[in-house]
Protein backbone atom coordinates (compact mmCIF):
# COMPACT_ATOMS: atom_id res chain seq x y z
CA UNK A 1 0.00 0.00 0.00
CA UNK A 2 1.12 3.59 -0.49
CA UNK A 3 2.71 5.70 2.21
CA UNK A 4 0.64 8.15 4.23
CA UNK A 5 2.32 11.06 5.95
CA UNK A 6 0.53 13.03 8.61
CA UNK A 7 -0.14 16.66 7.77
CA UNK A 8 -1.32 17.40 11.33
CA UNK A 9 0.11 20.72 12.44
CA UNK A 10 1.19 21.63 8.92
CA UNK A 11 0.02 24.98 7.59
CA UNK A 12 -1.77 25.31 4.28
CA UNK A 13 1.15 27.41 2.99
CA UNK A 14 3.64 24.65 3.88
CA UNK A 15 1.59 22.06 2.01
CA UNK A 16 1.37 24.16 -1.13
CA UNK A 17 5.02 25.21 -0.91
CA UNK A 18 6.11 21.56 -0.70
CA UNK A 19 3.90 20.76 -3.67
CA UNK A 20 5.47 23.51 -5.76
CA UNK A 21 8.98 22.39 -4.77
CA UNK A 22 8.17 18.82 -5.87
CA UNK A 23 5.83 19.56 -8.78
CA UNK A 24 7.76 17.30 -11.17
CA UNK A 25 7.04 14.28 -8.94
CA UNK A 26 3.28 14.84 -8.58
CA UNK A 27 0.97 12.91 -10.92
CA UNK A 28 -2.39 13.84 -9.40
CA UNK A 29 -3.92 15.83 -6.57
CA UNK A 30 -7.13 15.31 -4.61
CA UNK A 31 -8.12 17.97 -2.13
CA UNK A 32 -10.87 18.72 0.32
CA UNK A 33 -11.25 22.12 1.96
CA UNK A 34 -13.21 22.89 5.12
CA UNK A 35 -14.10 26.57 5.05
CA UNK A 36 -14.53 28.66 8.21
CA UNK A 37 -18.28 28.89 7.54
CA UNK A 38 -18.62 25.07 7.61
CA UNK A 39 -18.82 24.47 3.85
CA UNK A 40 -16.72 21.69 2.34
CA UNK A 41 -15.44 21.75 -1.21
CA UNK A 42 -13.53 18.93 -2.86
CA UNK A 43 -12.04 18.05 -6.18
CA UNK A 44 -9.34 16.21 -8.04
CA UNK A 45 -6.87 17.13 -10.73
CA UNK A 46 -6.49 15.40 -14.07
CA UNK A 47 -6.59 11.82 -12.85
CA UNK A 48 -8.65 8.78 -13.68
CA UNK A 49 -11.46 7.49 -11.52
CA UNK A 50 -9.36 4.39 -10.81
CA UNK A 51 -6.43 6.41 -9.49
CA UNK A 52 -8.71 8.68 -7.46
CA UNK A 53 -10.36 5.61 -5.92
CA UNK A 54 -6.90 4.25 -5.01
CA UNK A 55 -6.01 7.55 -3.32
CA UNK A 56 -9.22 7.43 -1.28
CA UNK A 57 -8.76 3.77 -0.34
CA UNK A 58 -5.22 4.40 0.92
CA UNK A 59 -6.43 7.29 3.07
CA UNK A 60 -9.38 5.23 4.33
CA UNK A 61 -7.06 2.37 5.33
CA UNK A 62 -4.77 4.79 7.15
CA UNK A 63 -7.70 6.15 9.14
CA UNK A 64 -9.03 2.66 9.92
CA UNK A 65 -5.60 1.49 11.10
CA UNK A 66 -5.52 4.45 13.48
CA UNK A 67 -8.81 3.45 15.06
CA UNK A 68 -7.28 0.34 16.60
CA UNK A 69 -4.07 1.76 18.03
CA UNK A 70 -3.17 4.26 20.71
CA UNK A 71 -0.16 5.46 18.71
CA UNK A 72 -0.52 8.55 16.51
CA UNK A 73 -0.56 7.79 12.78
CA UNK A 74 2.21 9.40 10.68
Query: How distant is the alpha carbon of residue 4 from its chain centre?
Result: 8
Give the model's pLDDT for residue 40: 92
SS3 6: coil
Residue ranges of the domains in the chain? 12-67
Total-model pTM: 0.59
Q: In angstroms, what is the C-alpha Rg of the chain?
A: 14
Confidence of residue 73 (pLDDT cuts 50, 70, 90): low
Confidence of residue 4 (pLDDT cuts 50, 70, 90): low
Give the model's pLDDT for residue 33: 85
DSSP conformational letter for 8: T
pLDDT tens profile 13-66:
887 788 888 889 888 888 888 899 999 998 888 888 898 888 888 888 888 887
Euclidean distance between CA atoms 70 and 59, whole angstroms: 18
Amino acid sequence: MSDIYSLHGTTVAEIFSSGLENIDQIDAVAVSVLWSDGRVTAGASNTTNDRLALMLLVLDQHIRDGLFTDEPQD
